[in-house]
Every structure is written in structure tokens, then in C-alpha cells.
Amino acid sequence: MTGGNLLNEDDVEAVFRHLSQAMPGRTATAKGPKDQPDPFRSVVSCVLSAQSRDANTQLATDRLFALATTPDAILALDDAAIAAAIKPCGLYNMKTRSLRKLCTALIERHDRTVPRTRDGLMSLPGVGRKCADIVMSFVFDEDVIAVDTHVHRVSNRIGLTDATSADRTARQLEERAPEWALRDGHFWLIQFGKAVCVSRRPKCETCPVNHLCLSFSALARV
């Protein structure tokens, strides 16, 4: 271990090795978000997902795509129709404006094609690092550890990263995770965060990486 809030390289590698044995990785059926292999639909879903539960985002996306499935078709809808369709995901007036900007950018700057690179994706209105990485990982099948709230929490508790935001966690994981862990790392960490290192009352006593975890060793010293 390091003396600070970060594990050293060997221990980072050891954590990923343990997680790879304890948790399921990427499977053939792992598509996302929520079975949306279409890049445009996936980007739209990401924009709709801000401060929304997965089920509500899914419902809003389904309702919108029942009306329109392309940037041009969405722009042809009036604001009220878009807002009504996406209402389940909340913030629907703001998200309606975001969707219009997204569709306009795709048409005017990207020939109606969702970019495949992180920079290209992040140049789209409403698309941040998390959305870009999710699309890259799930839709374009790139080896990227997308960082959601579970991955962020777990990474920083263990000491894989010492970041205060999910975007910084993503950047640190990109630098610090071993190459072989980039493909499935998102899946191991997210499953681990849901099953073991849960938000409240993490199951530290039975945790397979408690001998490496900096939060656990800090608690033991108290």
C-alpha cells in the first residue's frame, strides 16, 4: 500500500485480480444502457438519464422512440410532444432543449452519425465523460471502464483512485488500472458495488479485498 489514499500499482493489480474472480465480467448479452446497441438511441438515453432512475430513463426513451427514431424526426416534433414523451425521466423541459441541441449537432456537424471517439462524443451537447464512456463501452465495444456512482464509490473506498468526482475517477482508472482489466473492470466494480461494497453498511468483514482496501485499514486503525 502507499502511505496516502492510493494503492500502489501491485495492489491495484491485486484488487482487480480478486474482483475478476469474485464478480461476473462482461457477458455476451451485456448491452447497454439497457439493451440499446443503437448509438443514437444510446446517446439520447444518456442525455435523458441525468438525475433519473434507470427504469424511468428506459421508459422515457421508449416513449420518445415510439414517436421518432432519428435526429431529424425528433427535431420535427414540437417541444410539447417531446416533453410529454420524456416526462418520466424528469427535468423534461431542460432535457427537451438538450435533445434539440444534440440532434442539431449530429445533423450539422456529424453527418447524422454518432462519433466513435471519446472527444467526438463529448463534443456533443449534453454528453459528458460518463455518457461518452458508456457509449464507447456498451455500444462500440471499446475497453473502457465507464464510471457510474457505484464504480466511483468503490474505486475511491478501496484506494484505486482518490478522486472527488466521477470524471476524475474515470481518468485515474484509465491511468491506473492494468490493461487487462479495462475490458471488464466496469462490470466487476459495478457488481461489487451492488453486492458487497454497497453505499450504506458495506460488507467489509466478508469482502474479498478487505486486506487491500485503504478504507477498511483506516477503520481498523480507529
Could you give the CA distance from residue 139 to residue 99 in angstroms, rounded to a whole number?
19
Task: Using the minimum distance from each CB to ligand SF4, give the nearer residue, 151 or 213.
Answer: 213
Q: Tell me the site size for ligand SF4, rule CB under 6 A.
A: 13
| Segment lying near ligand SF4 (by CB under 6 A), choices 63-71, 112-120, 169-177, 204-212 | 204-212
Task: Tell the burial category of 84 from Cβ atoms under 10 Å away from its Cβ (0-12, 13-18, 19+).
Answer: middle
| Segment lying near ligand SF4 (by CB under 6 A), choices 47-55, 57-65, 103-111, 197-205 | 197-205
Q: Tell which positions 100-159 bind ligand SF4, by CB under 6 A.
A: 157-158
Q: Is 32 in the site for ligand SF4 (CB under 6 A)?
A: no
Task: Using the minimum distance from each CB to ligand SF4, give the nearer residue, 75 or 204.
Answer: 204
41, 61 Cβ separation under 8 angstroms: yes
Could you give the CA distance from residue 87 to residue 28 in angstroms, rounded to a whole number?
32
CB of 1 to ligand SF4, least distance (A): 13
Catalytic member of 95, 130, 133, 184? 130
Q: Annotated catalytic, 31?
A: no
| Segment lying near ligand SF4 (by CB under 6 A), choices 18-26, 53-61, 66-74, 203-211 | 203-211
Could you give the CA distance from residue 154 to residue 196 in angstroms, rounded to a whole number?
10
CB of 166 to ligand SF4, least distance (A): 17
Task: Tell the burial category of 106 from Cβ atoms under 10 Å away from its Cβ (0-12, 13-18, 19+).
Answer: buried
CB of 145 to ligand SF4, least distance (A): 16
Q: Is 12 in the site for ligand SF4 (CB under 6 A)?
A: no
Catalytic member of 11, 133, 148, 184? 148
Q: Tell which positions 157-196 bind ligand SF4, by CB under 6 A.
A: 157-158, 196
Straight-line distance from the first to the last Cα atom of the chain, in angstroms, rounded to the nearest whole number? 18
Residue 30, C-beta contacts closer than 8 angstroms, at least 6 positions apart:
138, 187
105, 124 Cβ separation under 8 angstroms: yes
Could you give the CA distance from residue 87 to residue 97 in angstroms, rounded to a whole number?
13
Q: Is 46 in the site for ligand SF4 (CB under 6 A)?
A: no
Q: Annotated catalytic, 130?
A: yes
Catalytic amino acids?
130, 148
